[in-house]
Amino acid sequence: MKAISIGLLGLGTVGSGVVQIIENHQDKLMHQIGCPVKIKKILVKNLQKDRGVIVNKSMLTDSADDILDDPEIDVVIEVMGGVEETRNYLLRAVRNKKHVVTANKDLMALHGPELLAEATRNNCDLFYEASVAGGIPILRGLVDGLASDRITKMMGIVNGTTNFILTKMSKFGSPYAEVLKEAQELGYAESDPTADVEGLDAARKMAILATLGFSMNIDLADVSVKGITSITEEDLVYSKRLGYTIKLIGIADRVGEKVEVSVQPTLLSESHPLAGVNDEYNAVYVYGEAVGETMFYGPGAGSLPTATSIVSDLVAVMKNMRLGVNGRSAAAPQYEKILKSDEEILSKYFLRLHVKDELGVFASITTLFSQHKISFEKIMQLPLKDKDQSEIVLVTHKASKKDLEDVLQKLRDNELVHDVKSTYRVEGDEA
């Protein structure tokens, strides 16, 4: 029985995991698809470098042509990262009638529609489960498990680095810089952590999730993004006192035919399931009109969890090969993209203000909010060490993003207000 031949682009942490799983799970793969699976060639930058996995040196190459132009290779697995060069490799692969499995969220967020369309034109599969939330089968859950439902909202922790940092800051009161350094030492954060801590990594994943969940082309530019670098110890302390925990949350919300997609630090009610997702773990909460509420939870990164998702995609490709139905799974978006305006984005908000400590200040601020029809759900007023100032911490009832922005501008212009220290969205508290 002819073996299915694999070309692997990249042999880093995830690539090594893919090699391990394919080698160690041959009996499982044989049972699933009825034939052996063999890795024929692996693209690496340095042929002499010691690897975390033992492979035959003859399998290694530093030329992508040896994989992309080899007619015997059936499936290309891409775990090398990068965007433009990798895009060109994958376009060549599908034009050469090779199926593709990728873990590249950056690539799929920026060029996913183009790559999927080209794969379909060439009767090839292109699967990318591992691009979002590592070992959690969230994309397959949306496309297959919830295929008959209409998804109205997806809300999740999709970046393990920031979740690790916020967990440590919240539990132990550790300063941001100290926890970031620990995350880098443990390998959770890159030496340049900008993509993680500024929310860009999560935004790419939310663009992919929203595209699939809502069946419309959501671009990275459509995602409103704010990172975690401005979160302070005071924000965490006051949040906890009010019954919340702060997480970097990706939100994709649909009302009628209009959508919003964002990534931002968010206060979650401590009773919400996502509030208990700690350290490097990821979770995505999905709301469907029929199914109600479901949650997908698990390791969001790591060699073997991510490799498990990749090999699961590989199994799906190989089953399609046996059935002769490759290239038919990528459905074109069903709906035109219509983004909500700021007037249509509704949420509760947490605000922390430093104001003059004198009679009538609170009444003046309350009047400002009421002029925009924003009312308060929770309020704390506390003295500051500076005797001329006090701190007001409040949670609003639902208000539009537009009204909140107008109020914030007026607060910053108000001579009674020294500083708007922080503003965060509040979710998971529907009381």
| Residue 114 near residue 84, CB atoms below 8 Å | no
Spatial separation of the C-alpha atoms in residues 253 and 165, rounded to whole Å: 26
Spatial separation of the C-alpha atoms in residues 355 and 389, rounded to whole Å: 5
Catalytic site includes residue 258: no
Helix, strand or coil, per DSSP, at residue 245: strand
Tracing tokens 């890159």 back to the chain, one arrives at 190
Task: Give the number of C-alpha atoms closer than 13 A to the C-alpha of residue 262, restricted to the C-beta side.
Answer: 22
Exposure letters 31-44 (e unless 16+ CB within 10 A, then b):
ebbeeebebbbbbb
| Residue 209 near residue 143, CB atoms below 8 Å | no
Spatial separation of the C-alpha atoms in residues 398 and 367, rounded to whole Å: 17
Q: Which residues contact 56 (CB under 8 A, 6 or more apart)?
A: none
Task: Report residue 399: phi and psi, to 5°.
Answer: -145, 160
Spatial separation of the C-alpha atoms in residues 244 and 68, rounded to whole Å: 51
First to last CA, the chain: 61
Nearest to 240 by CA among 172, 179, 182, 295: 172
Q: Which helix H or strand E contains 427, and what residues bound it? A: strand 417-427
> What's 72's DSSP letter?
T
Nearest to 36 by CA among 87, 1, 73: 1
Catalytic residue among 205, 340, 348, 401: 205
What long-range pairs does 149-152 form, CB within 8 A, spacing at least 24? 149/288, 149/289, 149/290, 149/291, 150/288, 150/289, 150/290, 151/213, 151/214, 151/254, 151/286, 151/287, 151/288, 152/253, 152/254, 152/255, 152/287, 152/288, 152/289
Spatial separation of the C-alpha atoms in residues 345 and 329, rounded to whole Å: 33
| Residue 104 near residue 128, CB atoms below 8 Å | yes
Could you list the active site residues? 205
